[in-house]
Structure 1
């Protein structure tokens, strides 16, 4: 067998229209040197591997759906285009996969680069006009944690107020002032937090990865997962924000902080769309205050009242802010009620009216101890009504359709081609790095496609 001698360079082996050539021209990674300068010594030790090479090393794994760093190393060894993108010559040694592991162990602050890389790509998308903020869609998807159900154990749930409680504190104080104007009475300012629902005092925690969460949702797999919450601009599907939580955290918990961060620090938002998991009263009020239109699929309401007369039997008088019962008696706002689920106005009937009412048996249950009918309205009901009153309009339905197309389509693309099915490393920070790189990879592809 005879072998021919060819005089070629790696530059000759990469087609002119190759995706990596377009990527190299579109993405400037010079900021990596500035961000990592303090991690390297110029006077001591061996010369380090170029940090830009390490970032590209991980990035190509998510661009091409290569699931592990060992496989990334093997792929770069034989793929000329990947060698060219990393700046490695034909016979230059590919960085060992263990280099990435040691980098994480010895320089944990290097992980800040992944958030900065994501933000830099989003910034470039905004500069190129690929992002407008006219309509964004938010949803979450489950990402399998590197932990089995066999490692789970039941532990007590510690109570932590969080940002949601702090927001309710502000609105509760506002509501108490309004109540004082209505009734002339005012309750004392709250000095301690409301306790959480006492029915859920324990949760399943993995001994292998305690920061993951046991997910149990209808239609979803059960086990240890993380949730990647993403907000997508519906112009070209660019992911504007990524927040990662354990799998047992409800979608509504990080939503407001997540969206506000994008609105204030990334691009002003004009409208937001979401599915029914995000239809909670506080979201309507907060987004309205930010000037963001809210298109959300309404949650189905279930009246669990044991009495025969349900809420629909009572008519609301907007001018007097009272409810009229089937017997023609009025229920007036009496107090502001705070619970773990939100802030509510309580409308009470006069006990004397209920005592002598001929419809008492249909209106009050046998176990009722108050002796008067009560109705509850969310404190944020006006904002909710203003948003949901448009739900039959074409633009509202179109926004929900765009959410379905872009949010679910984006997750499908990431799971199919960009490693968003499971994480190999453990811990919330590792899961966040993983989800950020997956989002960055898809953003880069969509940015380059939009610029054609």
Structure 2
């Protein structure tokens, strides 16, 4: 048997046009040393594995859709391109998969690098002109938590609406002042003790991963999931923001914070588009004040009034700001009401008018203690109507089409090739790391594709 000797280096074994060569030239990871300097001692212990190598190690997992950290060790061991990218020569051993686990356990602050990595990639995309801010499209997708349905248990959980209430505080005060100008009276300013509006309810929780959320939505799988909320610039499909929440959180909860972050910290936005899950009145007003056009699919209207005479039986007089009932009586603006759904103007009829009205049986329920009919209008009704008046315009419909193409298409690409189907680890922080790396991997591919 004859042996053949080859005089080659690892540099010779990686094609000149290989993707990882382009990635190495495009992405500067020197910031990793700055972010992790406080985590390593220069005087004690063995020499650590280079933190940049660890970031590249994990980035390869999401760039190539490798389903586990054990498999990345195998792939790196037999791939010349992977070895070249990591800076590991042919006769050197690649990092053990357990090194990643130990890194997370011993240095939990290392996870800040993943958020910084995502932001650095987005910054480079902005510099290269791949993000314009012309339109921002937002949606969420479910990512399977590392928890089985068998671990489900019900607990008595205290729900908080969060900073949604805090956002309403200013608008509520504004509305109360307007009511004072009209009627000469106003109630006291809302206090901290009641503004959070805490409510107690039963909640399904996993004993395995209690930070995940139980999801049960029409057309979606039920079980324990996390939600990755992503805002994308449709010019070249660059993901500009990622927020991760438990699966039971409504899509609208992180929406305004995410758009404000993109608008102020990434690129000024001209318009935003979203599906019906994001159609809540506060969003219309908040984006209007930021100077952002809002294109959203309207939620279907549901009249839950138990009375026979529904809301459409009443006529609104815009000049006098009153509603006229079928019997010709007026319902005048009386107070500003606040609930978990938002702020509402309440229009009340006079009790004496309803008491002698021939339509009383059709208009009021027997259990109605007030004895007079009332209607509610969103405090943000004017701006909502203004936005929806453009629903059939070409630019409105085109924005919704772009949202469908780029949100759904981006999620499909991430689930197919960038590990956004299920989580390997447990906890909200681990879920955020996972989704950030998936988004950064896709952004890098699109950045390199459009920069060549």
1:33-432 correspondence runs (5 A): 33-191=33-191, 192-193=193-194, 201-432=201-432
User: What corresponds to 2:447 in structure 1?
Assistant: 447
- Contact kept, 8 Å, 2:418 with 2:442, in 1: the verdict is yes
Output the CA distance in 1 between the equivalents of 2:7 and 2:401: 55
Residue deviations 1:255-303 (CA, integer Å, cap 9, x gap) = 1112111111111111111110110111111111111111110000111
Residue segments in structure 2 that go unaligned for 5+ positions in a row: none
Within 2, Cα distance between the matches of 1:429 and 1:368?
A: 48
Aligned partners of 2:277 and 2:31: how far apart in 1? 38
Whether the aligned pair in 2 keeps the contact of 1:269 and 1:292 (CA below 8 Å) is: yes
1:197–1:340: 8 Å Cα contact kept in structure 2?
no
| Alignment partners' CA distance in 2, 1:106 and 1:304 | 54
> Gaps (5+ residues) in structure 1?
none
Shift of 1:195: 7.1
- Measured against aligned partners, the alpha-carbon deviations of 1:322-381 in whole angstroms (never above 9, x if no partner) come to 112222222110001111221110001122222232333332233333222111001111
SS at match of 1:301: coil
Q: CA deviation at 1:69?
A: 1.1
8 Å contact kept, 2:160–2:198:
no
Whole-angstrom CA distance in 2 between matches of 1:80 and 1:24: 15
| Contact kept? 2:138, 2:274, Cα under 8 Å | yes
Cα drift, residue 244 of structure 1: 0.4
Q: Is the 8 A contact 2:179 2:335 kept in 1?
A: yes
Cα deviation, residue 194, structure 1: 5.5
Please, which moves more after superposition, 232-241 or 165-174?
165-174
Tell me the matched-pair count: 451
1:89 positional shift: 1.0
Q: Distance in 1 between matches of 2:306 and 2:164?
A: 31
In structure 1, distance between residues paired with 2:281 and 2:2? 76
Displacement of 1:238 in angstroms is 0.3
Deviation at 1:196, TM superposition (A): 5.4
| 1:144–1:421 Cα contact (<8 Å) kept | yes
- Secondary structure at the counterpart of residue 52 of structure 2: helix
What is the CA-CA distance between 1:315 and the residue it aligns to?
1.6
Q: Deviations for 1:160-198, whole angstroms, at most 9, x for unmatched residues?
A: 351101112221111111111111111112223267586
CA distance in 2 between partners of 1:389 and 1:90 (Å):
65
